[in-house]
Amino acid sequence: MSAPRVIGFTLNGVPVTALAEPHHNLIELLQTQFGLTGARESCGQGLCGCCTVLVNGLAVSGCLYLASFVDGATVATIEGFDGAGKLSAEQEAFIETGAFQCGYCTSGFIVMTAQLLDEHPEPTDDQIKHYLSGNLCRCAAYPEIIAAVKLAAQKRKARGAAFATTSRA
């Protein structure tokens, strides 16, 4: 039988349960059961990055990730980035740099940037391009995006340890 089953995970810092259909992907789960639409399916093939979500701190393509796979995991979406009403360093940096036009891809870029800065707090241009090569911006705001990532790195540093306590950990 392809019966749905109850799974439990931590979503943006809050323990939750959900009824997961075996054939649903993570994006379907987040949208239909939690009303979270920041991560969205665009290309549907893991190429564009619009569906980027952090699972246990690592970015995944939510559209290629079975919903059941987050059972027991820690999941962070863009909606959890502004913990306690304050925008994350990445969000502030993208806004201040104007690193978007239409904004459709922006949440994916910001979530992807989070893993990049977790692993490379002071990224080089090459590291930025490498981590973001799987995110597409059809408005081609790439120069501004690279600048935004660098600014986000500075902002993270300035915020210091306080930043590490966001709901993404």
Partner 1 sequence: MIPFELAEPTSLAAAVKLLDPDDETVRPIAGGTALMLMMKAGVFRPAKLVSLRKIERQYAAIAAGADGLTIGAMTTLGTLERSAEVRKLAPLITRTCLTLSNVRVRNVATVGGAMAHGDPHMDLPPVLMALGASVTVAGPDGERTLAVEDLFSGYYETVLAKNELIASVKIPAQGSKRAAYMKVTTGSVDDWPALGVAVVLDGEGDTITSARIVASAATEKATRLTLAEAEMNGQHVDETLLQRAGDAAADEAELVADVRGSVPYKRELMRVYVGRAVAAAWRGAGLNND
Interface residue list for partner 1 (CB under 8 A): 1-2, 21-25, 44-47, 49, 52, 58-61, 63-66, 68-69, 112, 115, 130-131, 133-134
Question: Is beta strand 74-76 parallel, antiparallel or unpaired with respect to 52-55?
Answer: antiparallel
Smallest distance from partner 1 to CB 53, Å: 9
With H, G, I as helix, E, B as strand and everything else as coil, classify residue 147: helix
In one letter, which amino acid is 161?
A
Select 21 or 97, whichever has its Cβ closest to partner 1: 21
Smallest distance from partner 1 to CB 158, Å: 25
Full DSSP string of 47-108: SS-TTEEEETTEEEEGGGSBGGGGTT-EEE-GGGSSGGG---HHHHHHHHHT--SS-TTHHH
Select 25 or 88, whichever has its Cβ closest to partner 1: 25
With H, G, I as helix, E, B as strand and everything else as coil, classify residue 150: helix
Cα atoms in the 13 Å half-sphere on the side-chain side of 61: 15
Select 96 or 122, whichever has its Cβ closest to partner 1: 122
Smallest distance from partner 1 to CB 4, Å: 9
Smallest distance from partner 1 to CB 9, Å: 14
Who's near 117: CB < 8 A, 6+ residues apart? Answer: 89, 90, 123, 149, 152, 153, 156
Select 2 or 160, whichever has its Cβ closest to partner 1: 2
Select 58 or 158, whichever has its Cβ closest to partner 1: 58
Smallest distance from partner 1 to CB 137, Å: 14
